[in-house]
Structure 1
Amino acid sequence: MNNNSISNFEDLVKNDYSNIAGIAIAKNESLVYEKYFDGYTQEDVLHVASVTKSIISALIGIAIDKGYVNNIEEKVLTFFPDYTIKRGEKTIQNVTIKDLLTMTAPFKYKSEPYTKVYSSDDWVKAALDLLGGKSDVGEFKYTTVGINILSGILTIATGQSVLDFAEENLFKPLEIKVPNNVIIQNKEDYLAFLKDKYVTGWVADPKGVNSAGWGLTLTPRDMIKIGQLYLNGGVWNGKQIVSFKWIEDSTTEKSRWLDVPYGYLWWVVDDGYAALGDGGNVIFINPKKEMVVTIASCYMPRAKDRIELIRKHLMPLF
């Protein structure tokens, strides 16, 4: 690594990846690079979008480790005994937690009805109402609104809010500052959260149930801790936070979108695995190099591929 190479890389970020707010890299458990752009600092949290899904995956694993959930083969409706299935709807009865984790649960929409769900009073029920339909269980169908069902399961199984469960079992042990709830009640709240440059907190519906598919804010250093926890087999400061088996299962192929393998809400790539969020938010873990790369970005539709940036321009520097 030399200063010219780093300077060239940072110029590339400013010119071609202008919505990147922060980058942090750990290698062999040491922070080897950290840089912030566009006025952001290491104290600023950003909305990490679908990286939230991978955090929810960790929380499901912890809930299973602690006996709140028996296993991922449990049927989703087991947790919602009062939910009324619509007449003629059979597919929903067979959907399991595993189907949600692997994005192989069927949903009754062609494009996700974000505004409709996020304007409702109960996002879990709204997601359940969308579950099922004519598609078969087992076909890959990426969903953000549907993953809210996992938040409902966590809330019911643990008897705690998702935020409180995460605080006790993940955030506090990793010394991640616990976010506050941000209640979203309508389309205007939803869009305002996405566009706020200095947004903070974890999005929740009017019932206080945190979103599972998006809506969490973290710093690049927080993201490094999550990545390092996984790289360390679930151990942090000598304590097993997430079981090794859950991490191994989560980061090996269980389903596939086109030619990209998918685990339990983690993308599996040739040289490791990654949590990926819209706008260019990434926790990238390369076990062979013992490296964790995190990128936090401001909201931008159709952001340029961060994995290419990491592989082609960042990893050769370290």
Structure 2
Amino acid sequence: MHASRRTFLKQLGSGLAAISWAPSAVLFAESKATFTALPRSTPEAQGVSSASIQAFFDALATSNHEMHGFVMARRGHVIAEGWWDPYAPDLRHTLYSMSKSFTSTAVGFAVAEGRLKVTDKVVSFFPDDLPATVSDNLAALTVKDLLTMSVGNEKEPTQAVVKSDHWVRTFLAQPITHQPGTVFMYNSAATYMCSAIVQKLVGQPILQYLTPRLFEPLAIQAPTWESCPKGINTGGWGLSVPTGALAKFGQLFLQKGQWQRKQILPASWIEEATSFKIQQPEPAKPTRPKEQNDWLQGYAYQFWRSQHGAYRGDGAFGQFTILLPEQETVIAINSESPSMQGQLDLIWEHLLPALKKDATLPANPEAEQRLKSTLGALALPPLVGKKASSDPAGISGKTYALETNSLGIEKVQFKIEGGQCVFTAQAGGKEHVVTCGVGSWVKGETGLPGTPPRLISGGASPAGTPFKIASSAAWKDEKTLEMQWRYYETPHHDFITATFENDTVKIAFVNSMNRMKPNPTDARGVLTGKLG
């Protein structure tokens, strides 16, 4: 997942979103479930300039970062929060590698309960899954080496692991070239092994293990976590929680493991898990000085050290929990960004200087109101196209029989009426319907084969599992209909182009990850059909 962090380009829009912040500790109805126990405040009441937060959002609006959710808390108070419609505060969001910090925390609870030591040897937990010959390096591998991404593999093993039916056994069979603990290499399968070890010790997946220890105390509701074929949570990815859950997770760490006057995680573990452990190697062709690169500030236990004394958990495309202990601040982000470093640069440029040491700043009603208006108008825009005719190609209600294709779709139909385009696909005896708003978003669910887009295959839901979707459609020209399907509990969307020529249709898919590449392609190919 780490290798894909810098490759995607998006547009940022404005419009409507679910958003709440207020000058008191009142919890608003639309976000109460998500943010129980975190009061609200104006920025100035917590020593932060509303104008500086506004400058951050102004910079976002002219950037190529596609934002989905944002929460900023200072001194335990939420001072700014917003979601870009169709994303919303009560929705879960795929975290990708931000999941790793939660897995590290599961290890922390196990250590605190005396079930585990970070010096324990990995081979000791899986005597039945070891290779025929156990190398000296494998024998020496510890839990700490897993936590610090210093296993010693020459090649990152995750792809080999997730293609197998037995992930633990496959991981242990990978060559370990370097002495464990000496060389950093990003390794999502190592985090999976932490999950497997905790499950081996406690007899339940880490999602269930963390529920009474972390999720319930912090009122993080209905988290989900993907699992391997053996029922072990994937650990290095696959956790989904709302944006606000990340803010509360970060606040727990700022408070040294204390929550509502209870010590739920030892302060000693917080210190151990977030302090510098190993240096990442510098790239052969650095794009910026080391001191300005947030991926070269050191690594801890599944947390990255950052510039300015900060540290963070993060996941592909910009899933962030950023902690600034000196400034008593947490920033949580969900997004699909082309440059995670670029997002951090904007935070260092605009938000960090705004965190004044003063207990409070003078009230600034005008700046506060402008920020509130900005946050209340956040949205990702639906498609916009030709409006001369609702059906310029005359295809509404017609059914097309498709040639054999990788998705197994046999027939499709487009029905256009009432400001909507209803796309229906028949595959494997099932009918899949996606209703698109023309110039607007329409929410629904779909289990259409080939959806939703994913960065990593391991732990994927079974084919046909329905996912929440927000869809829009527009005519590009007289023969070309475009659709955008946003899977709004993930960072991603699909862009679908249907081209009509006489009695034929060609349907091309490209997902939001591929679409930002110079020459985007999609494994689903082009679907071709004729009126039938």
Aligned equivalent of 1:223, options 246, 258, 272 = 246
**Structure with more of its chain in strand, by fraction:** 2
Instruction: Give, as a single letter, the amino acid of the residue that structure 2 aligns with 1:221.
Output: G
For residues 286-308 of structure 1, give each alpha carbon's deviation from its aligned partner in whole angstroms, at most 9, with x where no partner exists: 1111111111113x565453321
SS in 2 for 1:81: coil
Indicate yes or no: 2:278 matched with 1:252. Answer: no
In the TM superposition, structure 1's runs of 4+ consecutive aligned residues that sit over 6 Å from their partners are: none
**Structure 1 pair 87/21, CA: closer, same or farther in 2 (3 Å)?**
same
Measure, in 1, the Cα distance between the counterparts of 2:185 and 2:341: 22
Whole-Å Cα distance in 2 between the matches of residues 233 and 48 of structure 1?
A: 23
Measured after TM superposition, the shift of residue 219 of structure 1 is 1.6
Question: What is the deviation of 1:34?
Answer: 0.2
Deviation of 1:6 after TM superposition, in Å, equals 4.2
- 1:177 is aligned to 221
- Distance of 1:145 and 1:212 partners within structure 2: 8
Assess, with a 3 A threshold, how the Cα gap between structure 1 residues 260 and 81 changes in structure 2: closer, same or farther: same
Are the structure 2 counterparts of residues 126 and 18 from structure 1 closer, same or farther at C-alpha, using a change threshold of 3 Å?
A: same
Residue in 1 that maps onto 2:316: 278
What is the percentage of aligned positions where both structures have the same residue?
A: 30
Structure 2 vs 1, CA of residues 162 and 88 (structure 1 numbering), >3 Å: closer, same or farther? closer
Unaligned residue ranges in structure 1 (runs of 5+): 180-200
Aligned residue for 2:311, secondary structure, equals strand
Contact 2:151/2:176 (8 A) holds in 1: no
Instruction: Quote the Cα distance in structure 2 between the aligned partners of 1:61 and 1:288.
Output: 23
Secondary structure of the residue aligned to 2:327 is: coil
Contact in 2 for aligned 1:276/1:282 (Cα 8 Å): yes
For the residue of structure 2 that corresponds to 1:156, the secondary structure is helix
Q: Would the aligned equivalents of 2:104 and 2:302 in 1 still touch at CA under 8 Å?
A: yes
Tell me the SS of whatever aligns to 2:169: helix
1:205 is matched by which residue type in structure 2? C
State the distance in 2 between where 1:210 and 1:54 align: 14
TM-score, normalised to structure 1's length? 0.85
Of 53, 77, 87, which residue of structure 2 is paired with 1:40?
87
Amino acid at match of 2:140: N
- Contact 1:127-1:148 at 8 Å conserved across structures: no
Distance across 2 between alignment mates of 1:262 and 1:7? 32
What one-letter code is carried by the residue in structure 1 that aligns with 2:350?
A: H
What residue is the counterpart of 1:268 in the other structure? 305
The change in CA–CA distance for 1:19 and 1:123 in structure 2 (over 3 A counts) is farther
* Residue 82 (1) aligns with residue 128 (2): yes
Quote how far apart the aligned CAs of 1:104 are: 1.3
How far apart are residue 47 of structure 1 and its match? 1.2
For residues 115-126 of structure 1, the aligned pairs below 5 Å read 116-126=160-170
TM-score between both structures, scaled by the size of structure 2: 0.52
Partner of 2:106: 59
**Alignment correspondent of 2:32:** none
Instruction: Give, in whole Å, the separation in 1 of the partners of 2:173 and 2:87.
Output: 40
Whole-Å Cα distance in 1 between the matches of residues 136 and 51 of structure 2?
61
Query: Aligned partners of 2:99, 2:222: CA distance in 1, in Å?
Result: 14
Q: 3-state DSSP class of the match of 1:21? A: strand
Structure 2, gaps ≥5 residues long? 1-47, 282-295, 356-532
1:283 Cα offset (Å): 0.8
Instruction: Describe the SS at the equivalent of 2:56.
Output: helix
Report if the CA contact (8 A) 2:56-2:346 is conserved: no
Q: What is the aligned counterpart of 2:344 among 289, 294, 307?
A: 307
2:158–2:188 CA contact under 8 A, matched in 1: no
